[in-house]
Structure 1
Amino acid sequence: MGWLTMPFTSMGGHPTAKAYLDAQFTYTHEVEGGTKGLRVLASSCPQNRTYYAATQVMTNGIGREIFAIICKVHWCPNSKTGEHFGYKDMEESMGPYEDDCPRSILDLLSPTDNEYAQAWRTRCRARLERRARKLQHGDRVRLDSPVKFANGHTGSEFIVEKRGRRLSLRDPETSLRYRITRFMDLPWQVVPVTKIHKTIFA
């Protein structure tokens, strides 16, 4: 499905992308012999950028399998063309590129044999694991791939400097400090430091 865009006046009074999409994916239709529909069990749309939802198939009011819906979101309150909000929806079985789904939503999903959905869930959980890594002030880290900065410097090893929640990376050779966007999402390893203990003679 392609993009669907609209002005705020067409959002049915819903104040956010999340509220609108929750309503869109929660519905019941009359069919021969009963009803069919969907129900959003949990959803997330941080900063109105990407929407993730655990969505349950409903048949005659009974909950069936639960799968993920992902929407790329366009949110532009100051649009001069009236395209304030837009979205492009897809299911996990389509193998979406976006893989920042919260763990709370992933944990609700039913088991699946679909290879694309399995691969997507694996990528989401791998990202969660990367973000859960712990760093201490003074740790030495090595990126799997070197990063080139605006000043022309290219580096792959840095010393971690933490000031509260702020994190910067110091080059061990030049002592220059850098910041890397979405650093916790990148593949890197903490370099073990060999500690030399003093020998004490009795």
Structure 2
Amino acid sequence: MGWLFYTDRRVQTYADEKAEIARLCTFESDMRKTELIKACKVGSTWYAAARITNRDGTPFEDATYVTDPDGSITFGAVFLTRYDDRCWGYKDMEESAGPNESRAPLSLLALLSELKDPDSYAHAWRQRCHDWDAIPDYEEGDKIKLASPVTLTDGSSCQIVTATHYRRGRQKRRCYRVEKTGGFVRLSKSSLAGSELLGSAKGEASRVLAEFLAGQRGSSN
């Protein structure tokens, strides 16, 4: 399915989006009912857990999911969203379609029914979500070895870095000091997948950055 945009601009806020995701995940027919159990927004993507039950109380049978003890199944759905000229739009995918966006919180994954096929697209998607959650959230001063060298915009590469930060106004932004050059770079979270903590020196990284910036100012005088 492609993108669908609401040209009436009725969706404008986070609350509007969440209400619309709930509506899209809610359906009733003479035979079955689908309802939203949980929805979470990560970046511009919504992740949802939706439960299907048979209205007559019989167990719901499905080729992908193991039926839960209460006779229902709960599946994962991904809604890519964006605004175009203030018009909200979405593209939805069920987890068994193998969506690329794989940052669903583990609390949502815990609500989903078990899968029958360990080699299914849905199983691979859930594993990617677990892998994303497992990427370390390093602390100030941690010395890190990346799983493989990262190529920087100037053509150089780095693999060993130290976590630090800089300030922009009142905001604190994460950056990393490159071991080889002493320069500072921004790295995406995906760059840290499979990385290794070499050592921790809490509180030192901010002083390192301060010394570097002081040296830059001194050299310009």
Which moved further from structure 2: 63-72 or 175-184?
175-184
Residues 185 and 147 of structure 1, relative CA distance in 2, 3 Å threshold = closer
Letter in 2 for 1:43: A
1:99 is the counterpart of 2:97: no
Moved over 4 A (4+): 162-165
Matching residue within 109, 128, 141 for 1:123: 128
1:178 is the counterpart of 2:185: yes
Which moved further from structure 2: 159-168 or 59-68?
159-168
Instruction: Map 1:104-115 onto structure 2 (within 5 A).
Output: 104-114=107-117, 115=120
Root-mean-square deviation over aligned CA pairs: 2.7
Instruction: Map 1:136-151 onto structure 2 (within 5 A).
Output: 136-151=139-154
Instruction: Map 1:38-187 onto structure 2 (within 5 A).
Output: 38-47=34-43, 49-60=44-55, 64-76=72-84, 78-79=85-86, 84-114=87-117, 115-130=120-135, 133-162=136-165, 166-182=173-189, 186-187=193-194
Structure 2, unpaired ranges of 5+: 58-70, 201-221
Q: Structure 2 CA distance, aligned partners of 1:61 and 1:87? A: 33
TM superposition shift of 1:15: 5.2
| TM-score (norm: length of structure 1) | 0.76
TM superposition shift of 1:148: 2.3
Which moved further from structure 2: 92-101 or 184-193?
184-193
Q: Structure 2 CA distance, aligned partners of 1:41 and 1:143? A: 37
Instruction: Map 1:13-24 onto structure 2 (within 5 A).
Output: 16-24=16-24
Structure 1, unpaired ranges of 5+: 194-202
| TM-score (norm: length of structure 2) | 0.70
Q: Structure 2 CA distance, aligned partners of 1:14 and 1:51? A: 11
Q: Secondary structure at the match of 1:16?
A: helix
Q: Structure 2 CA distance, aligned partners of 1:94 and 1:67? A: 12
TM superposition shift of 1:134: 4.8
Q: Identity of aligned pairs, percent?
A: 27
* Alignment length (residue pairs): 180
